[in-house]
Structure 1
């Protein structure tokens, strides 16, 4: 809207009518509207003042005193009528809201309304659940609900006044300290907004220094721009000094307010049927006759209030427009945070399919280490493939280092060559990398299974601690003992079954080490799926139902992978050792070469070449005689050792590769039965309607919230249209 348009609106005499239309839409519950609020102590004359201003005979009876906020709105209309409703308080339960919102009274004339007003109040109190008698009975004393009285008629002016319960400092029969706090909080709620004009009602016959309302108003209206003092009961001020003090207040000589003070006289509890003009005769007498005419009497006060209301409305109009626009944006943002509507099966399936699609994209990125694809990957648990590779490297290092039951013999020269230094250096670097990976593994806490994870994966993963003994150094003695217990009529050979038994013993830790490795990978994947779901589905209710629904599929995938790993262990340990890998023959030949070299080393002669390199020279006859003198059993044991060592080395690398490729990569990461593929768009499509409702259906609270937000947006948009036209 252009500035010129706003200027036209601000000069429109029907500006207050527009604000009243906003009030009809209950916009005041969303955005503060310009209004007048009457506040003061109990017995300060508030009820009498309201009767003078509105013509409504507010009761003075203690049982019907103001016990909730009452909003009185008058507006000009060709038809005369009065509408009475109840707006539930901000903390009302849904049941109470429905109960009080059903309250509606309509009276066709002002005179009829005044006659029925006490009965209407009693009905309203009953509907709000208030006690009929403050001192006794069931129910509460005060309420946060608002009684709305809308007066329409051809002679009515546009004016809205809100009355709140009177402040009291000591409890009486039937009231409590909590009731005092409720009233004070209610007063503060209404006077704190910058668009509220505070009518501080003060009895003239009481020292205003004792009236807490002025201090309270000053706290919320520090510049005094919207506080107007209204002095009541001038007929009870009889002492000349007290009368002079009241005159000083009216004339601004004492405790001045920017909006000043007004002096009014209203009907008392025991007054007769005097007209307002008769009550105002007191202002023709001294000392009140000397006061400015525009500061005494109900007519002057009412004119001033209308003027103030127009002034504050004009002043706040641009901010009001801005606040409504901001509130619309806020409601739309909250509505967007709820996600798309899931009222029916179609909406639910679309909603869940979109989540599944996003989950698939996040999983794909996690498997390809495309961590720049989304800021969500700043979360460590989502870096899936990195964790799996690191865990696999640790498994490979641990397996090669300690998966065997007994260390094989070290074959080779005792005198290390220069190349050995290079090997040692490479080994130390590799060990350093593995140690770094162990630190990362410890930070990831894959070995610290939470109670929730233990419940979900108890039948699958390895127990917390599996004892893992270190390899022994008694390989030769063990081979000798086993051979001697199982030898037959062999001549330079041995039973092939012996190798199967020996290999099974040498690899007996493979099963436990593999289960630990698989458990770490499974826990990592399990946590990734949970974290990925959190990142793509913000609604805890939906996420919880979805997690429960896919648990069976996840567990099935984990079990399949663990079974695959167990099969690989069984294949290696139970079958007869066999390989077509030519490196097996090479390893055996190398072992034989080491043994012959070891026998020849004592007879070798050192020789230095022209380049300064040390060489070893042997006699050819010594080579032929090198293996002479060995016992048959000793020779067989060496053959068994070398065959087993050559085969174990090849089997180790083959097994590590197979476990990763077949159990981890195929079963857990990329294969068709991967747990990562349990939650897909195809899975969503196949869900039955009842299952879909259970997962993606909105909760009652979410439906209520969505409905309220839509209603707020509708009302605010209508309000904006009213102000802009």
Structure 2
């Protein structure tokens, strides 16, 4: 039988066309649109007969099997004549199915040999694709994404590739469901949606084309009609003259025009034998009226085939320069996504190794944050990571607040400044305010008050069970001497002299009753700063959100326990200062007591001082008045003053000692750098203690991530191979 092969039509870039076919075999079309000719149509539209006429492949009659999947028919010039049959795995084929299909290959030396083996061949194809038929009842699919590839080679072949997809059907049949109908329709849509696809819309001439679903689908994806070519089949079944004229008007573009227009062809009928008249004899009908009025380049298989070769060359030449850059862009994008997933974690060793890297990075953040080494990593632009700076600011604020607000009653300020003017005989006496607890070195500077903003604890509800979120402190009460007098009256015993140690201890406990609350508030702020740092550092060290959440969940109990330890140690220091017998070895205490007593004597003598002129002017006091200044006070006033001065001197020493101890022991040692620091919990040693189950919980990958990694890996390999093909 004569075929359309060997028409001698000029090829456009046969090397490029061959490369496009290779890309299609590699399923690159699932990533990027490839230039292609796709034949679509309803069932019984004459599509199979048309493809036989165009390609010369003698599809057997009465066989519906090849409509269960797409068929790619390729012509390629070669020195030897042969027909190669293989299967291209679908884009979603499993690795096992893909390997199985790669081994499928059949070769025939002629059309006649292929025709004789076609039924057997299709049964083998169905089994390979796992399609369920009467001959293959164990199949699991009704339709398949796999593609049957038939490549016809020979010295007289001109390059042409046409893809045939299953025909659209409306009614279901035995073994074919509505779901299968939708699957086929979606398959057709997938093949025709890309801008680089020429749509061969096959329509029988004996039907009203306005009712053809395939043309409606084509119009949906090719709104301008620029890439849809209509092919009218079965013209021999059109009997009425008016109907023939209607068909001619389509071909002439007088109705329902398409930019690529319509062709009309007559194919071998279902009852024709392969040995009967060839297509040139069948097309003699076009010499009759009204077919004879049609342009010759719109009639018959030869004209159609020549036009298809031309269109395929045009779309290939247009797309080819862009393909390499587009594929390279997709490759780079896939590599970035692959790298973002991090290394594979599908085994215990890989999980442990990955977790070790996360922990090592976290500890690097800890070391740098404690050393205020912020310059070498942009992550430290996040203020939550500037750990030691924030803690020092919070502590400076605490030190200032503690110095000015931690005592229940304000200590009495006293002192008089006696000055003389050498040019005058008048003494100038002014109040000299001496704040016994003044600490100029703890003045508030910078943004210490903003270290822990309002609502900061709301982000971490796990801390709310034990931290103090309200650190408002009342100012000390005034008139401490009245309070001392009241305490003396209510607590005095039979002692000569000043007051008992029991009374002093009771007075100190009363004066320091705000220490616990202020310390709890301070340590709570420190815990929040550390907890916030842990969260932020883990976000940078472990960008995998799921793993980050599971890792934090795994260490949370340990973190909270260590936070409790820091708070517990701080409260122990409060108890030591307040509950134990007050005592100090500090010389500052006696110096302050003696200084207060001396200042009181000086204050009492200030009004009795006189100005004495000589070589220099001096302020002098009569020596005999000194003894009366000391002895003229009553017992009550004397005891109250003694209690005040002793309490003030000791309180000042104890407060400074306490703040230092809180910093060194509760904060620096317990919470920051000691062996029980929460910052040291997440360590390499901790990772080594995890069993297989715990490693899987923390570092194991979700099935979706594993699937994504596999898909990206395949995508990268495919695109890399595609770039090599196009170079």
TM range (shorter): 0.7 to 0.9
Residue aligning to 1:311: 314
In 2: Cα distance, 1:608 partner to 1:388 partner: 56
In 1: Cα distance, 2:681 partner to 2:73 partner: 61
1:360 aligns with 2:370: no
In 2: Cα distance, 1:426 partner to 1:552 partner: 40
- Correspondence list, 1:395-544, <5 A: 395-412=398-415, 430=443, 433=445, 437-442=448-453, 445-448=455-458, 450-454=460-464, 458=465, 461-465=466-470, 471-473=476-478, 475-544=480-549
In 2: Cα distance, 1:257 partner to 1:349 partner: 63
Residue aligning to 2:382: 379
TM-score (norm 1): 0.79
CA contact (8 A) 1:371 1:383 kept: yes
Residue aligning to 1:578: 583
CA contact (8 A) 1:195 1:312 kept: yes
Deviations 1:411-433 (A, max 9, x none): 3459996987999x999x956x5
* Structure 1 gap segments, 5+ residues each: 1-9, 133-138
Residue aligning to 1:148: 147
CA contact (8 A) 1:232 1:266 kept: yes
CA contact (8 A) 1:72 1:161 kept: yes
CA contact (8 A) 1:71 1:160 kept: no
Relative distance call for 1:217 and 1:82 in structure 2 (3 A) is same
CA contact (8 A) 2:610 2:621 kept: no
TM-score (norm 2): 0.78
Relative distance call for 1:643 and 1:173 in structure 2 (3 A) is farther
Residue aligning to 2:424: none
Count matched residues: 686
Relative distance call for 1:620 and 1:20 in structure 2 (3 A) is same
CA contact (8 A) 1:266 1:276 kept: no
CA contact (8 A) 1:511 1:566 kept: yes
* 1:228 CA drift (Å): 1.9
Greater shift, 163-172 or 326-335, is seen at 163-172
1:626 to 606, 615, 629: 629
* 1:163 CA drift (Å): 4.0
In 1: Cα distance, 2:520 partner to 2:278 partner: 95
* 1:212 CA drift (Å): 6.8
Residue aligning to 1:35: 36
In 1: Cα distance, 2:361 partner to 2:313 partner: 54
Residue aligning to 1:199: 200
Secondary structure at 1:146 match in 2: coil
* Structure 2 gap segments, 5+ residues each: 1-10, 109-113, 418-427
Residue aligning to 2:677: 674
Residue aligning to 2:708: 705
Greater shift, 118-127 or 196-205, is seen at 118-127
Relative distance call for 1:351 and 1:658 in structure 2 (3 A) is same
Deviations 1:248-296 (A, max 9, x none): 4434555654433211234567888776625433323222233333322
Relative distance call for 1:659 and 1:673 in structure 2 (3 A) is same
- Correspondence list, 1:606-685, <5 A: 621-681=624-684, 683-684=686-687
2:574 to 549, 552, 569: 569
In 2: Cα distance, 1:356 partner to 1:520 partner: 25
RMSD value over aligned CA atoms?
A: 4.8
Deviations 1:59-111 (A, max 9, x none): 899x9896x7624233558664534566265xx9x8xx978997797666532
Secondary structure at 1:578 match in 2: coil
In 2: Cα distance, 1:69 partner to 1:417 partner: 108
Relative distance call for 1:112 and 1:592 in structure 2 (3 A) is farther
2:299 to 296, 299, 302: 296
Secondary structure at 1:161 match in 2: strand
In 2: Cα distance, 1:422 partner to 1:508 partner: 21
In 2: Cα distance, 1:390 partner to 1:282 partner: 98
Greater shift, 116-125 or 171-180, is seen at 171-180
Deviations 1:20-43 (A, max 9, x none): 333332222233322112235666
* 1:173 CA drift (Å): 13
